[in-house]
Copies of this chain bind each other. A is one copy, B any other.
């Protein structure tokens, strides 16, 4: 493995000149430069980024921390982040926390020790984020914000989405509606719910709410209990796509049809499913753009921006499909 001194020796210069050739080419005479470049090529020299990081104090590494990259929303966010990261010369690391504080804490500690240049987070743990901020590691929050934490963030206007979705449901003739799933204390869940509640309020109606978690199992469980209690509503709004899928699975299991027996809508698109069969009415969230925006904000910070924290709010769109077509 050729190192910089090998190149230097072969080119008959000092290591510093090789370094300059790579990092500040115009501070090296053309003749020397080409000699050095040739030596680099001959030896197949690739600079050691680890060593460079040690002196420069930066790693060009950024991390994305989400609950579960398999959640299509985060998959798409990831793609947005990676595209922009790559363009700016960063390498992206990813970690799943599965909503477990401890996993999150550990992971963030690893990121500190690795001296990542910045972190994009979608989590709930305020303490963990402080760990990063105390170490002056730029942080951008995406999708969720954390009370008491000052940081750039990219959120999605799910409140608006909730209102509009409710409007749509009322216009379609649904009256008895239940909101299911979602963790209390999660900012985006709260905004979704608030939007729905306000939508109901504006229509002079009440909304039934049954929180849970944000995974498929929660959707199944909630629907099972609704059925068991004989409280199946006319329409269901699921806190996210996984919950909706869970609800759907349980309904199918019990012979309930959508939309014939129950209307169903949720927050978050399910990309391929919606293409395969545009069935489910959703509040479409611009996940890719959120990822891009988050990475751009992070880049600004890493470059040293000291502007006050920015909150970027991305608009949503209610996509009406068959699942809320009242029979």
Contacts and interface: CB of A to CB of B under 8 A. Distances in A.
Interface in A35-75: 44, 46-51, 53-54, 59, 61, 68-70, 72, 75
Report the copy number of this chain in the oligomer: 2
A249 interface: yes
Given A46-B112, A49-B114, A95-B86, A72 B272 contact: yes
Contacts of A92: 93-95
A214 to B, nearest CB: 14
Interface in A86-102: 86, 91-96
Interface stretch (A76-84, A170-178, A298-306): A76-84
Chief secondary structure at chain A's binding surface: helix
A322 to B, nearest CB: 11
Given A69-B79, A75-B70, A93-B92, A113 B275 contact: no
Interface stretch (A141-149, A196-204, A221-229, A276-284): A276-284
B216 A275 contact: yes
A241 B69 contact: no
Contacts of A244: 276
Nearest to A89: B110
Interface string A109-121: 1101111000000
Contacts of A53: 50
A33 to B, nearest CB: 20
Contacts of A245: 272, 275-276
A169 interface: no
A297 interface: no
A235 interface: no
A270 interface: yes
A82 B92 CA distance: 13
A55 B244 CA distance: 50
Interface of A: 1, 44, 46-51, 53-54, 59, 61, 68-70, 72, 75-76, 78-79, 82-83, 86, 91-96, 103, 107, 109-110, 112-115, 134-135, 216, 241-242, 244-245, 248-249, 270-273, 275-277, 279-280
Minimum-distance CB pairs A-B, first 3: A273-B273, A49-B113, A49-B114
12 contacts: A46-B135, A49-B114, A50-B59, A70-B75, A86-B96, A86-B107, A91-B93, A92-B93, A93-B93, A93-B94, A245-B276, A270-B276
